[in-house]
Structure 1
Amino acid sequence: MPLPKRSVGTPGQEIEANRLACRKVNRHRRIDFEELRRYQAAQQQQLELSLQDLTKLSEELGLELQVAGQPHAIGARVDHGI
């Protein structure tokens, strides 16, 4: 199952692609805070779905990810003690 190829661009690119709404003030673009939070939530959801897909593929292939010398399943949550 191929993963969709979509990268996050600059805010200007995201606005031009209609993924981030804004309003123009003179020559400047203004993004409402609620719109920014909506966009961030959508990006987070897409990230989590992509990690789930990657985890599923890695499990199907029997792969593990090495992080700092310790094996971790891809997509597993790591507590950094922060």
Structure 2
Amino acid sequence: MSIENELIARLTITFSPTRLEVVNESHKHAGHSGDDGSGASHFAVLIRADALAAMGRVARHRAVHKALGDLNTRVHAIALDIG
């Protein structure tokens, strides 16, 4: 399974989002620090879920990172837009 599909699956299973967008932005960082040449090093995630809406900003970020588990160490950068 691709990193992008793993991100989608873990967030969907954990939060049942009403909106989820995962964009691979690795091409924007080619040759920069953190680019491992895999084409799967930088992602942007937009997620909207009822389970996250009641949390504060820091709690939302912690919950998403917990759901992502080992992906936090396998991906160089994950930009989050959480609501």
Same fold (TM over 0.5): no
TM-score by length of structure 1 reads: 0.25
TM-score by length of structure 2 reads: 0.25
More strand by share: 2
Which of 1 and 2 has higher RCO (CA within 8 Å, sep 6+)? 2
In terms of Rg, which structure is larger?
1
